[in-house]
A and B are shown apart, each in its own frame.
Chain A
Amino acid sequence: MDTDIKKIMHVMRRAPHGSIYTYEGLEMILIMAAYEQDLSLAFIGDGVYALKKNQDTAGIGIKGFSRTFMALEGYDVEKLYVDRQSLEERGLTEDDLVVDVEVMEASEIGRLMTEQDVVIHH
């Protein structure tokens, strides 16, 4: 049995609130973070909206969670990759996001994907 640390990438692809995928994805990530594997997160497409500043969900009656991404650093999850094109075509910049991320080209994130043992899209 392979006892090496596994490389696991979580790919956030959906906008928050409209569906539960991002929220439950984040719950999964927080648990996995406790297992000291090599975790990374990639934000692609509408997934970048999960990191948007100034989200106020009080009016829709759904618990907000954008600030939970800020807690990831405390679990040593520091590899947060954002697809440059996804950010730019939505008229967003790094300054619009709640956490520090690495904005990268798709080809570079794609290269990192091929290094993973497990990739989970949310």
Chain B
Amino acid sequence: MNIGILLKEGPYNHQASDTAYKFAEAAIAKGHKIDAVFLYNDGVTNVTKLGDPPQDDRNIAARWSELAQKNDFKVLACIAASKRRGINDDVLIEGSEITGLGTLTDIAIRNDRLLTFGD
């Protein structure tokens, strides 16, 4: 099964990013393909490398970066939502890109599922 994920909430404030990550991990473990993770609303702040959480906490951005690169998908931040929130190419983690809502539409069209996680 090919799966797209839409993540609408930023990291840490809400569990959404954690659930999306755990779901993606489990789907990959079962042999499914994560096509892309698309970030919208405050979700775009999941891909800034400027975050520096305490050592004993998870690093959400780094975790997404690793999962995406290892499994050949991209974490895509919506350009309009990113501009509003000060996310640009300079702060992006590896494995992420800024793109338009047209890409989300393509993701919705070409996958078997589009799952939303958010608040």
Residues of chain A having any CB pair with chain B under 8 Å: 1, 6, 8, 20-21, 24, 27-28, 31-32, 34-35, 37, 117-121
With A27-B80, A120-B116 as given contacts, are A32 and B41 in contact (CB-CB < 8 Å)? no
Give me 16 other A-B pairs in contact (C-beta within 8 A), A32-B104, A35-B102 excluded. Answer: A1-B110, A21-B8, A27-B101, A28-B101, A28-B104, A31-B100, A31-B101, A31-B104, A32-B101, A34-B102, A37-B109, A117-B108, A118-B108, A118-B114, A119-B116, A120-B114
B116 CB contacts on chain A under 8 angstroms: 119-121
Q: Bits for B91-116, please: 1 = Cβ < 8 Å to A, else 0.
A: 00000000011101100111000101
- Closest chain B residue to A34, Cβ basis: B102
**Contact indicator A8/B40 (Cβ below 8 Å):** no
A1 to B33, CA, bound (A): 14
Count of inter-chain pairs, beta carbons less than 8 A: 41
Question: Which B residues are closer than 8 A to A by beta carbons?
Answer: 6, 8, 40-41, 80-81, 100-102, 104-105, 108-110, 114, 116, 118
